[in-house]
Chains A and B, each alone.
Chain A
Amino acid sequence: MADMKAQRDAYGEVLAELGRKYPNMFVLDADLTKSTKTVTFQKEFPERHINCGIAEGNMMAVAAGIATCGNIVFASSFAMFAAGRAYEQIRNSVCYAHNNVKIVATHAGLTVGEDGATHQCLEDIGLMRAIPGMVVLAPSDAGSTKAACRFAAEYDGPVYIRLGRLPLTRFNDEENYKFALGQADVLADGDFATVMFCGPFYDLAMQIREIFAKNNLNIRVVDVPCIKPMNKDVVKNAANETKVIVTIEDHNIYGGLGSAVAEVLAEEDIENRKSVELIRIGAQDIFGKSGAPKALLENYGFSATEIAKKIAETVCPGSSANLIF
């Protein structure tokens, strides 16, 4: 197994680091301090950590109130209850009022696993993306989680950061990787197809690339940790320089990364617009269910071989039978 680390562990560490840097930073949680790892900050700065109990709506507006006094506020819960239950508090008290609140939502998506559908938030990117001015980030490993949080602390305004539960392969440097609005990283170049992912799919994207490498074809791999604002250039380049764009996200295909990419493809000036194809991998407008995360992902179509076949079929119908795996 490669070097792995859970994003929330990185979150806990970076919160403490940021707490040392910003004396006006507060962290709020809703009875999940050990799961979201805000407990790390709580131990070091108990006077700046506030447990709001199981009351996420109140927590978000309390966060807004603390922010009105010139503070940076990080508020955490599971994605389902942060973006879902407290949507309107985020919309009105945080975003419309432009209060400096960072919502860091953990346990997003199918990869929550055994807790099942009620806890697997597959709509949060869509909900948050629809709010004017909200910055939406879905980092992809420990390094980008830390960079996203450092960016958020520096940025004046609301930010939503989506984290998963599982340990993930570390491919960004935890100290030196930097983050900017519109962050998108081309991890490997290629001209056959482009795989754009966010969240927990570095390994999957690389497996797809390896399959095509065996077939002497190059896949471009792009990590898109900033969903809003979207980096239009990487989408335009992918459309103009490769035949297929595949988006992979632990989210409904409606409202998330796939939708954001589709919007760029539909609206931007792209020479190759008519011939480029888009495949959206994600929950196909269905809810999740209980199961081990790995089995669930397989079940919901997050399989390197299945995605490779889809890419081959899209470029040339019938060609998937000739793929070497």
Chain B
Amino acid sequence: METKDFAKNMRKLIVEAIYNSGSGHPGGSLSCADIVAVLFNEEMNKSSERPNDPERDRFVMSKGHAAATLYSALALKGFFPAEEMKTFRKIDGRLEGHPDMKKIPGVDMTTGSLGQGISAACGMAVYGKRASKNYRVYAVMGDGELEEGQCWEAFMFAAHYKLDNLCVFIDFNGLQIDGEITKVMSPLPIPEKMKAFGFNVIEIDGHNLDEIRAALKNAKETKGMPTAVVCHTVKGKGVSFMENVASWHGTAPNKEQYEQAIKEIEANG
């Protein structure tokens, strides 16, 4: 499947899952969908037949509230049936509100409490270096997440141990639950801070698949330091009435909104 279509199908599954459960995080799930689509559909060495292969690339959704994004990619890659997305956040399902590595095949780390996923990704990467493994570690973080002090402990660690097998995508959509990140608690300037923390920093349009691909290539070619890809994104991307609206951070669409959203995603893709 073309990655453009993969991303479109992910968006449909994301909106559908959140609509069915009546809860979830559409805004930040849609903003990082294109990044996750390129990783799962093109880049990463991952197989649904061997979800625990020690040599596989690792993926950590550090902004765990974008669980639906990760689940949609896993479903499309056959880690579990797409039908199961209907059980998202339901009591009799295994698709926890935030990613759960013990329940769901393909989830490499349990996340949800912001700032912890990136540390765990550092753990996977430092082990990879020490044990001379060839796998790479990818993490997706939120811009609001950067307000957690632990992120900066993790960045310090990643640069100190020269984790060039680690590539961190920062979903810079500019919004968090209480509003604009610059008004709530500004983590800006992000690229400058990441540079100062010892990262190879690339700034891209996080919805442009070619720019995502180029960033991944750049990251792989960079030796001796971790890479941060600062992705300018639109919260709620692909659904007009959700785009750039903070209140869609953690609200589920009603039936009408859901139908409208699916129509728009199919039309625009």
Contact of B122 among A48, A65, A71 (CB under 8 A): A65
A251 in contact (CB, < 8 A): no
A62 in contact (CB, < 8 A): yes
CB distance from A23 to the nearest CB of B (A): 10
B123 in contact (CB, < 8 A): yes
Which B22-61 residues sit within 8 Å CB-CB of chain A? Answer: 54, 58, 60
A270 in contact (CB, < 8 A): no
* Contact residues in A for B115 (Cβ distance below 8 Å): 57
Which A57-88 residues sit within 8 Å CB-CB of chain B? Answer: 57-58, 60-71, 88
Of all chain B residues, the one with the shortest Cβ separation from A47 is: B130
Pairwise interchain contact A68-B153, C-beta atoms closer than 8 A: no
CA distance A62 to B150 in the complex (A): 11
Q: In the complex, how many residues of chain A place their beta carbon closer than 8 angstroms to a beta carbon of chain B?
A: 28
B124 in contact (CB, < 8 A): yes
B113 in contact (CB, < 8 A): yes
Pairwise interchain contact A58-B127, C-beta atoms closer than 8 A: no
Pairwise interchain contact A61-B120, C-beta atoms closer than 8 A: yes
A264 in contact (CB, < 8 A): no
* Contact residues in A for B122 (Cβ distance below 8 Å): 58, 61-62, 65
Which B86-139 residues sit within 8 Å CB-CB of chain A? Answer: 100-102, 108-110, 112-113, 115-117, 119-128, 130-131
Contact of B101 among A61, A69, A88, A97 (CB under 8 A): A97
* Size category, B interface: 20 to 34
Contact of A93 among B102, B119, B127, B160 (CB under 8 A): B119
Please list the 3 inter-chain residue pairs (A to B) with the smallest Cβ-Cβ separation, ordered nearest first.
A65-B123, A61-B119, A65-B120
- B interface with A by C-beta (< 8 Å): 54, 58, 60, 100-102, 108-110, 112-113, 115-117, 119-128, 130-131, 149-150, 153-154, 156-157, 160-161
Q: List 29 A-B contacts (CB under 8 A).
A: A26-B130, A50-B130, A53-B157, A55-B150, A57-B150, A57-B153, A58-B119, A58-B157, A61-B116, A61-B120, A62-B126, A62-B157, A63-B123, A64-B109, A65-B119, A65-B123, A65-B127, A66-B127, A68-B123, A69-B124, A69-B131, A70-B54, A89-B119, A92-B110, A92-B113, A93-B109, A97-B100, A97-B109, A97-B110
